[in-house]
Structure 1
Amino acid sequence: MKTLIIFCLVAAVSAKHEAYLGWKSYYVAPSTQDQLQSLGGMISGFDLDFLSRAALNREGLVLVKPEYQSGFVAALKNEGIQYWVHAEDVKAQLDLDDQDAEAVSRSTPPKGEMAYDRYQPLQVIYDYIDSVAKNYPNLVTLVTPANSYEGRPIKYLKISSTNFEDKSKSLIFIESTTHAREWITPPVATFTIHKLVENLTNPDMLERFDWIVLPVVNPDGYEFTHNSTRFWRKTRSMDHFDGQRCPGVDGNRNFDFKWNTVGVSSNPCGETFPGGAPFSEVEIRVVRDILHENLDRMVMYLSMHSYGSMVLYPWGHDGTLSNYAFAQQTTAVNMVKAITVRALPDFPKYTIGNSKLVIGYPTSGSSQDYAHYIGVPLSFTYELPGLGRGLLGFHLSARYIRQVVEETWEGIVVGARRAGQLYGPSNRYY
């Protein structure tokens, strides 16, 4: 019996990540704007899946299925785009990632607590925010506005020293994990909660601001990445055409701004499939409703993603700049300066700018653009650091989680102060 158990355990480990047998990953490093645009144009043709976005003189990391590898390499050579193999065997590298995660930490924090030495499953995150709401009722309100497609609660916290009743205070909204596989983003959200409630070292963050923090926009997808397919990006809905065969929608292409126009896939199996209609996804409707319900005082919206070490702002669909571009740029610069003071040399330096101009290809239906379109003056996408040259894994090693959350918090503080100064309720005449 003991031998049988050991055999079953070995078989289970070896079977994990089988979906990625034969896949390769490549670093790609465009050196001109034309090369960057050409790279963006290859996404649909070769069904590319970028884990880390490329920028000028900044390599990106892309997954390529077996049937597209030779054509993709030929296209890179034809365009003169520098590339090199990151992992010859994606499954084998994922297995090594799992071993690294176990080596860093095997422990689970006590119920209701949060630790930053491993990537936590959904229940640990939910237990933590439930506990914070219970232990700090004068500061924190737990809101569960809806259930996900598969029936999981979608939870967020409203954090305020005045119970959201002081209309002179500005409001900041932070959300993460729209893309399920981006495991470094929920720690940033929960650490923000920690710094606002349990370890308040910046008192003006509560004196001047109210906060909404949504740690897991996409709980179905997040669970799926932990229990089944590591690189799953989308929701898990099946109520669109061909949904049974190809479930899910890219939540960051599902907002009603230039929806389904550029930078999307019409193939429901594609990573950037925008859904059958704007706001088709209940998870995205939750984000939409938070934006609209608090628009009168919301001065900054931060959507946390990974990887890339970037702070991006509208407009993503065509690369034009909004009337608030100067404020967006200067606020992003200040946030990145604060991050850089705390950053490690292991991570690439942050890049700042208009999202289309920085990454070289357009996106439509994004939360960043929608929030700005309806009236949030400062709307940013954070691409958190990780997966730079020399960091060989597919998710940032858990040993770096605390570093990322601490340095990102410094940027959030500076951004909030700048947003309140520019667009606090007494200054909102736009």
Structure 2
Amino acid sequence: MAPRARQLFATTPWIGNNCTLPNQETKPPPTPWSGQLTEFFQDYRTLDDIHRYIDLLAQQHPNLVTLREIGRSWQGRPLKVLEITSPSGNVAEKPCIFLEGGIHSREWIATSTVLYIAGSLMQDASADVQSMLQHFLFTLLVPVNPDGYVYSWEVNRMWRKTRSNRSNYLCHGAVAGVDANRNWGVTFGQTNDAPYELQLHNPCSEFFIGPEAFSEPETKAASEYMKERQQNWRSNSKAGAGYVAAFIDYHSYGEAMLPPWAYTAETPADPDGSYQTSLTSFINEAFYNTSGRTFNAGADVFLPNPGTGPDWAYGFLGIRATMTIELEGHSSCLPATQIQNVGKEQFAGVKALAAFIRQHGGEPSAQVGIFARGNGSTALYLVVILVVFASLVAMRSWFNWFSTSRRDYHPESAIIGMSRDAAPSCLA
């Protein structure tokens, strides 16, 4: 198909991305945020205001929040994560729920939604939320793509990609950028759709995957954060604690939950496939009880897309509770009046996600990823084979030496004249 004629949905017509429809947000708000938490979600906010909001949350809730900088964007902006949990228990041993939004810069509602969830986790005093904070560490990265977010405010409202300097003389302007949601490993660049493949490797395309997996500092930082936590869990003597239990990537638009595999649009084999299907049903019930809506759910709702974050999280780290959530609407633009409604709906989904993991477990998959049984068994078999082989070689060397020394035995040479080179190999 022609570039961007490729239908975004497999079952729903693609409406398009523009901000010129009636009642849509078409430009930034005329005045900056006042600094009052209660007013923050009355409109979309600039990156400076977002960082002020994040800093203020951390200042007002020091017992719940740790603010970390996990890296820098291509243009040097900080990539800030909020780590939110109760002070009770060992934080390093709590399962982690990682939420991110704004990897596509024009999807302002995704950025606002993750910020809304962050505020709700800290300000909701209900028993169920307090229980969640005691059991889980919530990590929120927003916006994932700060350079693109600023560009979507200041220059091109519909900018999607990063702002890395992937210059190409065919493109309009010196900066082509990369689609950061095609830049993750495991399924990077894997597609059987030849026309789409041309777009994936065209620096001027909205879907340009970049020169290699994790070429963008934004995806590199997010993946390294999760990978480090998962590796720490792997080496932890108390296995079962501290793993990444969930990874949710928020986007707009389409009202859909998209678990793996995105690159084939096919559901994983059971039991992981059944786990993910049950999870989306559980979350959908929470959506319906909050907003009266349910989302389309399944790997086949969209056409295949390689190199997504959830595919990497599942395929490499074995995170079973992982998905893309496409928020409501028929465009990347949504009226600011919908921010709080969408936020409430998605916070209900997060509570359902946490409840599901507590009921059904969230340990890494035994089917795929670095913790799969096959991977662990293969490594063990290799170690055993190497040990046996080394033992046989040592025994043979010792036997040859023993036979020779018995045949040419002279007490004085055995005690005095034996050189280091003549010593048994198993003792050298």
* Length-normalised TM-score, structure 2: 0.74
Unpaired runs of 5+ in structure 2?
Answer: 234-242, 373-428
Equivalent position of 2:245 in the other structure: 299
Equivalent position of 2:202 in the other structure: 267
Contact 1:138 / 1:161 at 8 angstroms: preserved in 2? yes
Q: Structure 1 residues 224 and 422 mapped into 2: Cα distance closer, same or farther (>3 Å)?
A: same
1:169-248 pair list within 5 angstroms: 169-201=94-126, 202-239=129-166, 245-248=174-177
Determine the C-alpha separation between the residues in 1 that align with 2:247 and 2:88: 20
**Aligned-residue offset at 1:163:** 7.8
Please tell me whether residue 54 in structure 1 is matched to residue 9 in structure 2. Answer: yes
Stretch moving more, 311-320 or 164-173: 164-173
Percent of pairs with identical residues: 28
Q: Higher strand proportion, which one? A: 1
Equivalent position of 2:264 in the other structure: 318
1:11-160 pair list within 5 angstroms: 42=1, 45-48=2-5, 53-56=8-11, 58-62=12-16, 93=20, 97-98=24-25, 108-111=32-35, 113=37, 115-160=40-85
Question: Secondary structure of the residue that 1:383 maps to in structure 2?
Answer: strand
Q: Structure 1 residues 426 and 258 mapped into 2: Cα distance closer, same or farther (>3 Å)?
A: closer
Contact 2:182 / 2:306 at 8 angstroms: preserved in 1? yes
- Greater CA radius of gyration, 1 or 2? 2
Determine the C-alpha separation between the residues in 1 that align with 2:181 and 2:285: 27
Question: Secondary structure of the residue that 1:325 maps to in structure 2?
Answer: helix
Determine the C-alpha separation between the residues in 1 that align with 2:365 and 2:305: 31
Equivalent position of 1:285 in the other structure: 220
Stretch moving more, 135-144 or 277-286: 135-144
Stretch moving more, 401-410 or 322-331: 322-331
Determine the C-alpha separation between the residues in 2 that align with 1:291 and 1:256: 13
Stretch moving more, 155-164 or 222-231: 155-164
Stretch moving more, 191-200 or 179-188: 191-200
Corresponding pairs, count: 343
Question: Secondary structure of the residue that 2:144 maps to in structure 1?
Answer: coil
Q: Deviations over 1:37-67 (max 9, x none)?
A: xxxxx3xx243487xx4342x332135xxxx
2:347 to 405, 409, 416: 409
Determine the C-alpha separation between the residues in 1 that align with 2:22 and 2:355: 43
Contact 1:254 / 1:365 at 8 angstroms: preserved in 2? yes
For 1:254, the aligned partner's letter is N
Determine the C-alpha separation between the residues in 2 that align with 1:412 and 1:317: 25
Question: Secondary structure of the residue that 1:61 maps to in structure 2?
Answer: coil
Determine the C-alpha separation between the residues in 1 that align with 2:175 and 2:22: 25
**Aligned-residue offset at 1:112:** 6.5
Determine the C-alpha separation between the residues in 1 that align with 2:203 and 2:180: 13
Root mean square deviation, CA, Å = 2.7
**Aligned-residue offset at 1:241:** 5.7
Determine the C-alpha separation between the residues in 2 that align with 1:152 and 1:49: 33
Equivalent position of 2:306 in the other structure: 364
Contact 2:96 / 2:245 at 8 angstroms: preserved in 1? yes
Contact 1:240 / 1:275 at 8 angstroms: preserved in 2? no
1:351 to 296, 317, 325: 296
Q: Structure 1 residues 426 and 228 mapped into 2: Cα distance closer, same or farther (>3 Å)?
A: closer
Contact 2:106 / 2:332 at 8 angstroms: preserved in 1? no
Q: Structure 1 residues 228 and 426 mapped into 2: Cα distance closer, same or farther (>3 Å)?
A: closer
Q: Structure 1 residues 285 and 163 mapped into 2: Cα distance closer, same or farther (>3 Å)?
A: farther
Equivalent position of 1:17 in the other structure: none
**Aligned-residue offset at 1:400:** 1.1
**Aligned-residue offset at 1:165:** 2.8
Question: Secondary structure of the residue that 2:40 maps to in structure 1?
Answer: coil
Contact 1:112 / 1:131 at 8 angstroms: preserved in 2? no
Determine the C-alpha separation between the residues in 2 that align with 1:205 and 1:285: 28
Q: Structure 1 residues 414 and 98 mapped into 2: Cα distance closer, same or farther (>3 Å)?
A: closer
For 1:261, the aligned partner's letter is Q
Contact 2:112 / 2:339 at 8 angstroms: preserved in 1? yes
Spell out structure 1 runs of 4+ moving beyond 4 A. Answer: 239-244, 424-430
Q: Structure 1 residues 320 and 306 mapped into 2: Cα distance closer, same or farther (>3 Å)?
A: same
For 2:311, the aligned partner's letter is D
**Aligned-residue offset at 1:267:** 1.0
* Length-normalised TM-score, structure 1: 0.73
